[in-house]
Amino acid sequence: MESQFEQSLRTLAPEQRFSAAQIAEIAADILLRRAGSGEAASPDAFRQELLATGWDIIRKRPACAPLVNLVSNMLWKIEQAETPRELRSAVAASTNDFKRQLRQHAIHVAESLVNLIEDGSTIVTLSYSTTVQYALSHAQRAGRHFNVICAESRPIYEGRQTADILAGLGIPVTLVVDMAAAAAIPTAQLVLVGADMLTYRGLVNKIGTRMMASIARTYSVPFYTLCGSAKFLPATFQLPEQTEWDPTEVWDHSYPNLNVLNPPNDTTSLELLTGIATERGILPPAAVEGWLAALRVHPALTMPQSDLVEQLHY
């Protein structure tokens, strides 16, 4: 029978239509519950159990940077704690701080974008990003009038959620198939997308983002990603291998000579971005590259996976 912990992890599975920020909040709650369950034999055993749990979480969504930063922050926080009470308190403090940070970033990002949205403009977006939704809602409250074209984002149609939420807010929105959204970019005034992760290699986001960025560059349409630093990762972190999503989401037919691919995301070069909306304001890619270079994650997350397995079974 599936344990309660395994059931919790299933909520992070790709078929669950959550944004990166929502996934991180769910993961924070999983870590907190894990810290409060049972009694570890020693402080070191507690830290090893939480590290193993952290890796279980990260592997569920390898391209979701907030999960890495969440776990890293927790590992730094519990390093100096020794008693069971101190250890649990440290986990609670780190997870609550991280959730608060995510919400604050969304507010600052939204505030930085208001002046980019002009009355009567058409904005193109895709997939499901709570940060994009919040920014558009904030612009509406600030008195901006605009309409949104949203790609449905096949194969699991996350864009439908975005369209539903925006329409419910009274924002004029048109839901279209993915290629129609790309075709709308040349006559749009702005393209806004969320982010799963940003590194020096580029922006990792829902499949189709790179194509939209390329079209926007060709037609000189401003293209921004809404990406607080909780979604930044330094080069020192080696991502777990990411597999393709379930091919039956695309097509459930099976033939010996038929291969169905279902990549969940793509990587867009930073040079294709007009700017990156962060909690420090809208920055050019070059400025963010310096920010990325200064980041670090906990050393336990940078060791080779073979060493980690040996350590966890010591």
204 beta partners: 197, 267
Q: Which helix (H) or strand (E) holds 149?
A: strand 146-151
| Catalytic residue status for 196 | yes
What is the greatest pairwise CA distance in the chain?
Answer: 63
* The token pair that represents 299 in the structure block: 């050393």
Provide the phi-psi class of 292: left if phi over 0, else alpha when psi is between -120 and 50, else beta: alpha
Other CB atoms closer than 10 Å to residue 101's CB: what's the count? 19
Catalytic residue among 44, 97, 119, 196, which?
196
Q: Which helix (H) or strand (E) holds 191?
A: strand 190-193
Q: What are phi and psi of 115, to 5 degrees?
A: -70, -10
The residue to which tokens 């969504």 are assigned: 61
Q: Which of 144, 197, 198, 151 lies closest to 171 in space, CA to CA? A: 144
154 with 178: CB under 8 angstroms?
yes
For residue 198, give Cα distances in angstroms to 86, 207, 225, 229, 291: 33, 15, 10, 9, 11
Buried b (16+ CB within 10 A) or exposed e, 158-185: bbebbbebbeeeebebebbebeebbebb
* The token pair that represents 302 in the structure block: 């940078």
Distance CA 275, CA 281 (A): 10
Q: Are strands 190-193 and 202-206 parallel, antiparallel or unpaired?
A: unpaired
Q: Just list the catalytic residues.
A: 196
